Structure 1
Amino acid sequence: MPNRSPIAARKPRLVFCTARPARYAAVLNVLRQTFAITVIPNDPSAAKTFETHPDCIVIENQLVGGDGMWLAQQANALRAGGRQSLIMVAPKMTLPIGRLIEERVIDAAITGSPETGEFLNSFWRAYGTVSEDETLSALSKPAGQVMQSGRQLFTQLEDMTATGGIDLEGRKLVASAAASVVDLAGDPSVAPMLHQLRGHHDSTFAHSLRVGILMASFGRAIGVGDDQLRLMAETGLLHDLGKMQVPLSILAKPGSLTEAERQEMSLHPVYGAQLVNEGYRDLPDLISAVRHHHEKLDGTGYPDGQTRGQIHEMSLCTAVVDVFSALTDRRDYKEPMERDQAFAIMDTMAGPHLEPRLYRRFRELVLDTRLADEPQVRAAR
């Protein structure tokens, strides 16, 4: 059985069949962070490569140089126990492609322009639906349940943010997920789960769930009460909600942002506060943390340029955890940073940016509990 779990030692293998590799150069550059990639023409000779049983096959359905539909049939016939991901790329969805999905010849189709952000988001959703059961099986049962419920939560939140914001029903969903996160805080399975999330592409979901877990663990370590512990978990889950209103082309851009794109990205705390305002009027600390987790003690943060003494402690806690998670996350545009390297950077941020007392306590928590260590877990082949 192929080993595609991101917590495994080797990179999974991806075969990308296209007659126009230059068209996908930016996408392939990003995917190489996760996969060992072989690019081949989409002609009949590609079938020989399928016999090596790569973990994922992407086939461009273009008649230039070959027939992608025929290649998909060949790849499906050579699947190793049905464990490979088989994805088709096409300008638009057609009845024949829909039939291939319906008949389970392919797992998914990515349609439209290969604009980097949108293409990568579609790819990871397609790849994730095939590998999710294997992903969860590598985790402990409590950790797997939290990851699964977190994914469901963020799917529902995405629908809510598209129509306005979080209502009372949405708040109940967040509270339920936060309760599961609190239960998991301190569990030995947290470290491998955080590593798993670091390899997960759906960055708003993965990063927010990771921050929620770290916030709950932080709260438990400093001895806050049960109500405050749940509030910290909910804050972590919701702190980046505003990114759901930032275009994917910006969120997943593999290069530097333009000035206009940076300005758009810097609005996500404002968007987030607007989205949670109605459902959390009685929890101003949470709303404040969503809006102000990018403020800095020296006043150079955003969106309001708050300074020491103006920034609420919940916002200061969220900022510490958010920075650590951002540095050690894998993103489209960067590899994850090792824990000690992240702390070396954060040491320089304590004072002008991060609240020193809270940062030192969080650093002690991570080092004492080995909470974010690289887990020594290997999936069975």
Structure 2
Amino acid sequence: MTADLSLSPRGIEIRARLAAFLEEVFYPVEAELDAEMDALDGPEPFGPLMIALRKQAREAGLWNLFLADESLGHGLNNVDYGQVCELLGRSMWAPMVTNCHFPDTGNMEILHQYATPEQRERWLRPLFDGEIRSCFALTEPDVASSDPTGITTTAVRSGDDWIINGRKWFISNAVGAQLCILMACTDPGAEPHLRGTMFLLPMDTPGLDIVRRVPIFGHAGGPGHAELRLENVRVGADAVLAHPGSGFLLAQERLGPGRIHHCMRSIGWAERAQEYAVDRAATRPHRDGVLAQSQLVREMLARNRIDIDAARLLVLRAAHAIDTAGKHRAYREISIAKAHAARATQEVVDRAMQIHGALGLSDDVPLTRFWAMSRALRIGDGADEVHLMTIAKHELRRRGHDRDR
């Protein structure tokens, strides 16, 4: 496969402006922003510093970078955005500053593609403009949510309305969100891929409650990863996204690019972890010299570089496949990139932590947060094992073995 993975002239210009913005405006207040967002408790979507930074980013033309539609975004292709997204991934909050944070990006994409004009006006326009945040509720505590055909949250017709009951959890950024795009089973007797429907629910809908933030490695602050309870939630027909039974299709439409965006960001935090590791190794006293003089430490730094560069190439190859063949025909490349990047970046961060010793376990450096994000990436948007099964299926088909064995 021959692929041009270089930046376009437009991508070069956007990446340079973003790098300058991050260095001059964002990084000097990163620690303050981290504390502000960690304390966020809703219903406001953003704290004052985040609002100010988002205003500056928008004025600088660094807004909705993920959108290929030039009337709404910047017209970057996926290869361009992959390298821009790597810069954003160097910090937890940089994507939100530029309105490129998940799950809003995926939600905006499916709303743009499938929402009615009225739904776009109510929800999509405020999301594009950065006035509100949203969440995406698919995962459930009692089923294997890597397979969305098995969800148990139900939506039952009641006249022209729908009554929704169920539980969702690990719903990212739910605290402070105004919109929840929720998947529910509307026809349990239908063919599995036609059972689900997506609904647009205001977060203040009666019967929809945030039970708690689910702690992740002991952390439960900020927008969080929430558990939701839905008890007799009544919504009208205008809450249905696309049409009843289309939920699985919409989930796949949403998750394909979302998976690759996560991988793009992971390269950014892996690179930053490597920078911390190199600086630590070069300056930390060890016997008569520094850590970097140790062969074992040099091997760790070398393996980090190999893992990062390999992950980047696989991610950009998947981005190129989406650009040239479309996301539906790029699932093999997406799965390969997702399975490799998640594991590789976790190992990179883990080595960086090891080089830092006890400091690497503290919050004085961002490595523990990078490690947690990498570990979560191996489960979110399809567990490693799901993507490995997809890759194996493609390998069997290449040799003419179409039937599962």
TM-score (normalizing by structure 2): 0.28
Higher strand content, 1 or 2: 2
TM-score (normalizing by structure 1): 0.30
